[in-house]
Structure formats: C-alpha cells, structure tokens
Amino acid sequence: MPDHVFRLPDLGEGLTEAQLITWRVTEGQQVEINAPLCEVETAKAVVVVPSPWAGTIAHLHAQPGQSVPVGNPLVTIRSTTAAGTEEAPRRGVLVGYGPEATPESGIRRRSRSVPAPAAPGPEDVRAAPFVRQRARELGVDLARVTGTGPGGRVTRSDVEGAAQAPPVDADGDRRISVVGIRKAIARQMLRSITTIPQFTEFAVFDATRLLADRERRKQAGQSVTPLPYFVRAVVRATRDHPMLNSTWDEAHDEIVIKRAIHVGLAVNTSAGLLVPVLRDADQLDLAQIAARASELIAGARAGSLPPRDMTGSTITVTNVGASGPVETGTPIINPPECCVVGFGAIRPRPMVIDGQVVARPGAWISISVDHRIVDGALATEFLTTLVRYLEEPDA
C-alpha cells in the first residue's frame, strides 16, 4: 500500500505559511477522506485541514506551535487504496468554515466524514461547532466562559484563554507567546512603519445631513450605521483621486494604480485587529455596503471568515470612534496599500454657520498616506473631497 505525503495546501491569497495549532489525529490512526487532520492558524483565520485520502497516519511532520510553509510536508498517509487503483486526492472541506468552493465548477461539497457538531451546551451558550470541539479537547466548561463574540458568542480565543492563563515568572510578570494572528499583526505593523514613509492629515466634517439621511432610511425600515456612509464616501473620493487606491512596487520602483476598489474594514476582535475585505465596493449601493459590511464584521469576530475574505484590500477604513470616546488618531497604513482612513465618533461640536457659533453633529477624519506616492497637496485634495461627500450624502 503506497505512502502519500500530504503537503500544506495554499489556504488563501498571498498566504505563505500557517502555524500548526493542534493535531486531530495520531500516528497509527485510521482516517477517512475529509476527516479532520489538524487545525492551523494563518495570518487571517483558523482552519481545520481535512484529509485528502483514506488510510493510516504513518508520520506527522510538524509539532503544535511550529510554523509550516505552504508546500512543506504536513502528514504522511499510508493509503488503503491498492496500488494502481488510486484516485487523485479530493479537495477537502475547511471544517468550521463551510464547504470549500471548487473553482472549476463552483459546486460546494459537503464532507461525508466530518464529525457531527457537538451536543448543545446550556441554552445561554452560543458557540460554533469547532469552538465546542476545542472546548472538549481542553476540558473547558462552556457554561463558565464569558463570550466576547457578537451577541455573547463564545469564540475560540475565549475557550483557549479560559483553559490556560499566561505563565507567571519568578517576578510575577506574565509572558504571552506571540503566535498566529497576533504575530502576523506585529509583522505587518513593523513592515508598515519601517518601509513606508507616511504622514497624516486631519479634518472635521459636519454630519447633519448624513444623520438626517440615516433617520429617513430608519423611518423607511432600513437601519444603517454611520460606517456604510463612511465607506461610500471613501469609495467616491477614491474614484476622483485614484492615486490613493494604489501600491508601491518595490521590486520595480513603480506605482501600481488599482482598477478595483476593495475596502478593508479594520475590526477589533478577541484575536486582535483583523481586516476583512469589502470587495468591489464601488459596485455597491449604500444598502449593499451595509449588509455586506455587517456580514464581514460578524464573521471576523466569530472567526468564521475564509482567508479569501481577509486578503486583497486596496484601501482601508478604520472607525476609531466606534468603541469609545476617541476623537481621532494617526492610523497606520496596511501594507502594501497607499492610504488608510480613520473616523472618530459623531457627536455635537461647535461650528460657525452664517457667522454664528452653533452646535452641530460632526466627527474627525484622519488619513495616513504613503509619501512615496502621495504628496501633501494631493492628500489635502482627497481629504477635501471626502469631507464633501460626507456632508452631501444624498448628492
């Protein structure tokens, strides 16, 4: 019976490695096609890797905590298929994230051997099947875990945090191993600061008409947060100033102006700052932006987005005022993008209208840009255009 070496597959656009979190199998164990082999964490998500063959686990090539480059051996499986009759490896299902789409056909396959979801816990506990599985592995009682996901949903990070507190050294200091998503965030921020000469500009916009439009939509049965207005205004301003939707090609010293406008949405999650991508945002109306953004944000916080929804942004929006009294800040560019736009909280502010100081709702905007691509004059033009679209949302 032949031995087959299963190599770590490409789990998403531009992802070159993944960290092995835990094995779901042991050497000598029998597995079926699509049975979960292991959990890996990329820079974007946690994925359960399925088996492409039925057989016996002959050798595990990596240890939990180890980073495995794409294409490197992951596991050797001794196939139960007789020599000469072996079928080609089947595409697997990313367990916990839904069936993987087959590019050739677009058909979604459903695994025949994925274990059934864990039995429900107490009625007040909300958790995905793979989170319940992780809780069982770590011996964590979900009823005693405080969920930090949407609607109090228990996330994988909640379970692992409950299972093991950071170790304490002799001085009482706690040490936290930086791995997976947090390690990727650190690398990305270091790359941004050390390779991109960036500067930041600020402005305040009058949100009177934006809030009035939002109220009209609410009365019509369409509830919309300010975020979709922010995204739509950024898209419109980017159309007028396409240089802000570009990257710097370091290998060729060229500026690459992107045709598509894919807006990254900076989201605070229990795993750290994630940036799901609102693709082709310039093709969506306000209601479509609102619906898709809501799906992406909820998915990022629940850890359920596939890697393809976490890569490929061309300009990023961060709502720094969404979770507290923060007025503004200096957002850091998300490489290899040229621009990131930050929005503060909308609240009453003194403004001069017709020579009189009046209180009107408004918010700060900050944009950080790559100075290799954009000079101060163009940044000011972009920011001015952005303010105009925010102040005239129905134009």
Question: What domains can you pick out in the chain, each with its CATH number?
Answer: 1-115 (2.40.50.100), 117-167 (4.10.320.10), 182-391 (3.30.559.10)
Cβ atoms of 39 and 22 closer than 8 Å: yes
Measured distance CA(2)–CA(52) in Å, rounded: 14
More confident residue, 36 or 120: 36
More confident residue, 222 or 182: 222
Is the sign of the CA dihedral 24, 156, 181, 179 positive or negative? negative
Cβ atoms of 166 and 174 closer than 8 Å: yes
Other CB atoms within a 10 A radius of the CB of residue 200 amount to: 17
Per-residue pLDDT band at 303 (split at 50, 70, 90): confident
More confident residue, 280 or 90: 280
pLDDT score recorded for residue 182: 73
pLDDT score recorded for residue 172: 75
Is a pLDDT exceeding 90 seen at residue 184? no
Per-residue pLDDT band at 275 (split at 50, 70, 90): very high
Is a pLDDT exceeding 70 seen at residue 137? no
Is the sign of the CA dihedral 342, 343, 344, 345 positive or negative? negative
pLDDT score recorded for residue 378: 97
Per-residue pLDDT band at 23 (split at 50, 70, 90): very high
For 168-182, what is the mean pLDDT?
69
Residues acting as catalytic residues = 371
Give me the percent of the chain exceeding a pLDDT of 90: 53
Bridge partners, residue 112, by sequence: none
pLDDT score recorded for residue 116: 39
pLDDT score recorded for residue 310: 87
Angle at 171 between CA 167 and CA 177, to 5 degrees: 30
Give me the percent of the chain exceeding a pLDDT of 70: 80
For 305-319, what is the mean pLDDT?
90
Per-residue pLDDT band at 325 (split at 50, 70, 90): confident
Is a pLDDT exceeding 80 seen at residue 114? no
From residue 33, how far is each of 36, 60, 395 by CA, in Å? 9, 17, 56
**Mean pLDDT, the chain, whole residue set:** 83
- Which tens digit of pLDDT belongs to each residue from 204-216? 999 999 999 999 9
pLDDT score recorded for residue 220: 94
Per-residue pLDDT band at 166 (split at 50, 70, 90): low
Is a pLDDT exceeding 60 seen at residue 374? yes
Give the global pTM: 0.68
Tokens found for residue 356: 């009189």
Measured distance CA(294)–CA(299) in Å, rounded: 8
Is a pLDDT exceeding 60 seen at residue 258? yes
Per-residue pLDDT band at 65 (split at 50, 70, 90): confident
pLDDT score recorded for residue 87: 45
What are the start-end ranges of the E strands in 84-192?
A: none
pLDDT score recorded for residue 100: 37
